[in-house]
Amino acid sequence: MSEKKGRVFSGIRPTGRAHLGNYLGAFKNYVALQDDYECVYCIVDLHALTTVEDTLNLKQNTYDLTLDLLAVGIRPEETILFVQSHVPQVTELHTMLSMVTPIGKLTDLPTFKEKVRQNPNNVNYGLVGYPVLMTADIVLYKSDLVPVGIDQAPHLEFARETVRSFNYRYSANVLIEPQMKNTEVLKVLGIDGKEKMGKSLDNHIELAADPDATRLRVMQMVTDPQRMKRTDPGNPDVCNVYTMHKTFTPEEDVQTINAECRKAGIGCVDCKKRFAENLNKALEPFRSKRAELAARPDQVHSVLEDGAKRARRIAEKTMLEVRAAVQLP
């Protein structure tokens, strides 16, 4: 382990090209964590198998996500970036952990109930065991910390309890109880201004889209719903465009927009044009880096191969200890 403060693990679902919600809600933080922690970022393709829609185009989606992660600033020379299924030890650990997991605990988790509501016709065994596989992901790499928002806290607590059960049952201190790295996970609203930004709702703004496509998406954004005409004063506090301005527009301009909006000094069309311009400017370095990487696919694949090699080294060491603790013949 390096002189950094500890090891952070996070799993990222390969749902294809990333959007602004992914960036602001997670990737930005992943990049920042690299300065202080040894980071292990895993593209969780096995988790994607639990829902059919994520299984389609899994290879392409994994590749696109890798491009996005590298282009936003994940540094593979220090961070371990890899694909979950490239380290098969995780499925072995998943089996071992499932033996110390009461089934009722899994079916009681709010996320499981939510998934059942969303996919009543596809409640498969993998879906029930999802948190066990997630626990295996975290503990296989001896992770100290997992950056999660408050809504993910029950899953981490589950992981901690599972580790305790395993260590108790086998009278071993092999697995590390991961700690929660409390992270303010921004809830980024989609262009509808109501729901969380996501692909399934088609309310997202893709990071890698070209400037024209991005502008078009921004111009579709819902603003203050009470503002019916140009001469009506608006309320920036309830406007998603304004919220986005706060991230992508210089502070001084944000204040001007706030004041002008309240006295109908600026119209929503102009306000959105300004936001689109600032957003495109901010995304420019990302887009050119992504294009550079896309021109060298071999290099992108070798990042994942190297990541898997480094991840397997840690995983195999953990599994030697786990197998010894379980006393497998």
Residues that bind ligand SF4 (CB under 6 A): 223-224, 227, 234, 236, 239, 241-242, 257, 261, 266, 268, 271-272
Nearer to ligand SF4 among residue 15 and residue 258 (C-beta): 258
Of 28, 11, 10, residue with least CA distance to 19? 28
Nearer to ligand SF4 among residue 234 and residue 307 (C-beta): 234
Min dist. Cβ of residue 217 to ligand SF4 (A): 14
Distance, in Å, from the CA atom of 198 to the CA atom of 53, rounded to the nearest integer, reads 14
Beta strands in the chain (DSSP E): 7-12, 38-43, 80-83, 145-148, 179-182
Token pair recorded at residue 46: 């096995």
Contact between 66 and 298 (Cβ < 8 Å): no
Min dist. Cβ of residue 147 to ligand SF4 (A): 31
Contact between 21 and 198 (Cβ < 8 Å): yes
Distance, in Å, from the CA atom of 323 to the CA atom of 223, rounded to the nearest integer, reads 57
Min dist. Cβ of residue 270 to ligand SF4 (A): 8
Nearer to ligand SF4 among residue 140 and residue 266 (C-beta): 266
Nearer to ligand SF4 among residue 166 and residue 242 (C-beta): 242
Sign of CA dihedral 236, 241, 242, 243: positive
Contact between 40 and 229 (Cβ < 8 Å): no
Nearer to ligand SF4 among residue 52 and residue 269 (C-beta): 269
Nearer to ligand SF4 among residue 93 and residue 191 (C-beta): 191
Distance, in Å, from the CA atom of 182 to the CA atom of 126, rounded to the nearest integer, reads 27
Distance, in Å, from the CA atom of 38 to the CA atom of 81, rounded to the nearest integer, reads 11
Min dist. Cβ of residue 185 to ligand SF4 (A): 24
Nearer to ligand SF4 among residue 214 and residue 223 (C-beta): 223
Min dist. Cβ of residue 228 to ligand SF4 (A): 11
Min dist. Cβ of residue 241 to ligand SF4 (A): 4
CA neighbours closer than 13 Å in the CB half-sphere of residue 91 = 10
DSSP labels, 147-198: EE-GGGHHHHHHHHHHHHHHHHHTT---S--PEEEE------B-TTSSSBP-
Min dist. Cβ of residue 271 to ligand SF4 (A): 3
